[in-house]
Structure 1
Amino acid sequence: MDTNLLYWKSHGQSFLSRLQVWVNLLDPLSLLSSDADILKAHSSLGSGETLNEKDGAALSLSLSSVHADSGAVVPLVFRPAALLPMSTPLVVASFLPHSSVRLALFWQFLLQSYCAGFNYANRNSSSEQSPTASLMQLLLMAGTVSYTTCAGALPQIFISRLGVRSAPVQTFFRSILPIPLSAALAFFNVVTVRSAESETGIRVFDSRGNPVGLSKAAGDKAVRETAWSRAVLFGATAALPNLLVLLLQRTRRFQRNSLLAAPLRHVSVALVLGLMIPVCFSLFPQLGTIRKEDVEERLRAAADGERLYYHRGL
């Protein structure tokens, strides 16, 4: 078992402990480290018995930048610390009340493409034979981006094609519909991009960290947990700013200064996204567990306890 997973096994089994770790790991300064420094930090860490907080900067750098399955450095723009600075302008722009369908499609394409790349780069790759994406995986990602781009632009498509002029109906399409839509598309993006984990299985470990085989049940559980966490992230980011603006628009100050709505929405989207990222990452353990009874029969005999462990991915 990789040293990153050994750390999560001993420090990441409660929500608050995971949240505390993620708040530290999302420091954007870690993005300035070179690949050589990251690999050196990862290789300098001790075994599961000696791994602790005293490893300091090397531990944080390893957890935030090294893939726990392959041991390779995660591409810079897809590291956890890069999610906020990379996705904030895309999320803000995708929630704008666009004047045309073309603009809505453009920003949705950029957002969904980045989300697909992030989901793929942080997947569980323990069952893969090649570090490079196959043609089938590339086609699957292209199809996912195409579908979610079109679906994400549906509110603007409805407004433009139906010629909606009613203020309440426009409010529904611009402020209410994007909430469940954003959550559903985030969930779908993870499930489709990482569907191979459910189909081929992922590596599971016993309580001592020894691999015991590949489990489709564990793969399906890992994908579903990550998909739900991403749905919470984008659903909350769509809901809270829109509801805040809708409530404030009822006040006299906002009615006298309607131009305040746009900057308030942009700032609140960035703020909620930044606050929700560590919460979303902490909802489920990085080193997940699955009951022995829930995995394939061939793996049960190899389990030395009631539970098996798996890398959830991110």
Structure 2
Amino acid sequence: MAPDIPLNINIKEPRWDQSTFVGRANHFFTVTDPRNILLSDAKLENARKIVHDYRQGIVAPGLTEDELWRAKYIYDSAFHPDTGEKMVLIGRMSAQVPMNMTIVGCMMTFYRTTPAVLFWQWVNQSFNAIVNYTNRSGDAPISVRQLGTAYVSATTGAVATALGLNSLAKRVSPLIGRFVPFAAVASANCINIPLMRQRELQYGIPVTDEDGKRLGDSAKAAQQAIAQVVISRILMASPGMAIPPFIMNTLEKKAFLKKFPWMSAPIQVGLVGMCLVFATPLCCALFPQKSSMSVSRLEPDLQARIRDSSPGLERVYFNKGL
């Protein structure tokens, strides 16, 4: 019996055109869908089977194209694109909104005392370390020492920034003090992500031609990939950490929060969550996941090998990570 769907659907690529921002946004709204973290292991394994079978030319009876794409996105939400390993639950992109809204909301509520700053910056950097490792580019392992260095450095940088700015903020308006957590998060991203992915900067990440043929490893490509991820992460945090302070500053002057001050944290978490639902996929979409660069910008030895094996090739492609 002929399959219900054709065998030439390219499920290695996203369903939407990734050369446009709208196409990438549609893709990441699906990838970051928080509902995916509720899927059982059985559903994840079924999605993997559908995807792997389809790549081998095997189509389950009655499978529709929409079901195939759904399986592809379930698979992508839980399995690393380079290693194929199942990612730790809280490190998946589908966990970004619920995890970040909780952590960031609490960071922005409990920022006035040193113990609270220390605790929530530690929680945030622990979460960031897991996310950065889980969504690294390439298939090279990272040592425990490298993980520890990145984790300690980022946590120290974030706490130092938060405590330093907190002391300065005491001399200015309370509204400005509410932006201290954002400054700490931005500085930590600039430390945490490059350190967590330092192996890529040292040894490079896989670069391929447009058809996916591996051409070598490039540290230059890693530099571009990591810079794009840092920019995306900082901008991703911006709406959730820049808009709620103005709202909360107004609400805390009203009678309701004066009567029920314990409601500050849930309201702040909810406000951050509403921002992150949109900011997370839209900022992930700023740069193509399958990033590219000119062959002429690669390391000289890699350029030479590529020109020998593929004389007409002008651009190489790589997974930038998330």
Scaled to the shorter chain, the TM-score interval is: 0.7 to 0.9
CA contact (8 A) 1:148 1:185 kept: yes
- The answer to whether 1:57 aligns with 2:79 is no
Q: Distance in 2 between matches of 1:276 and 1:99?
A: 26
Mean alpha-carbon deviation: is it higher for 145-154 or for 91-100?
A: 145-154
Q: Distance in 1 between matches of 2:232 and 2:157?
A: 18
Offset of residue 23 of structure 1: 1.1
Distance 1:72 1:11, change over 3 A: farther
Cα deviation code 1:79-118 (max 9, x no counterpart): 1101111222111111114452112211111111101110
Offset of residue 47 of structure 1: 7.3
Offset of residue 175 of structure 1: 2.2
Aligned match of 1:269: 272
Distance 1:122 1:151, change over 3 A: same
Cα deviation code 1:171-224 (max 9, x no counterpart): 32x224444433232232212211221111000001221000001110111111
Q: Which amino acid aligns with 2:317?
A: Y
Q: Distance in 2 between matches of 1:40 and 1:291?
A: 36
CA contact (8 A) 2:16 2:26 kept: no
- Match of residue 101, structure 1, among 114, 139, 145: 114
The 5 Å alignment of 1:1-314 reads 6-8=12-14, 11-31=17-37, 32-34=39-41, 36-46=45-55, 55-126=68-139, 128=140, 130=141, 133-151=142-160, 153-154=162-163, 158=167, 164=170, 168-172=172-176, 174-246=177-249, 248=250, 259=258, 262=264, 264-300=267-303, 301=307, 302-303=309-310, 304-314=312-322
Distance 1:64 1:310, change over 3 A: same
Runs of 4+ more than 4 Å apart: 253-258
Cα deviation code 1:242-283 (max 9, x no counterpart): 23445x47xxx9556564993654432221122211112111
Offset of residue 311 of structure 1: 0.6
Q: Which amino acid aligns with 2:149?
A: L
Q: Secondary structure at the match of 2:178?
A: helix
How many residues are aligned here? Answer: 296
CA contact (8 A) 2:175 2:245 kept: no
Cα deviation code 1:285-310 (max 9, x no counterpart): 11001111111223331454221000
Q: Secondary structure at the match of 2:211?
A: coil
Q: Distance in 2 between matches of 1:112 and 1:240?
A: 22
Offset of residue 40 of structure 1: 2.0
Q: Distance in 1 between matches of 2:56 and 2:301?
A: 29
Q: Distance in 2 between matches of 1:8 and 1:215?
A: 24
Offset of residue 19 of structure 1: 0.6
Identical-residue share of aligned pairs (%): 24
RMSD, matched Cα: 3.1
Offset of residue 42 of structure 1: 3.7
Gaps of 5+ in 1: none
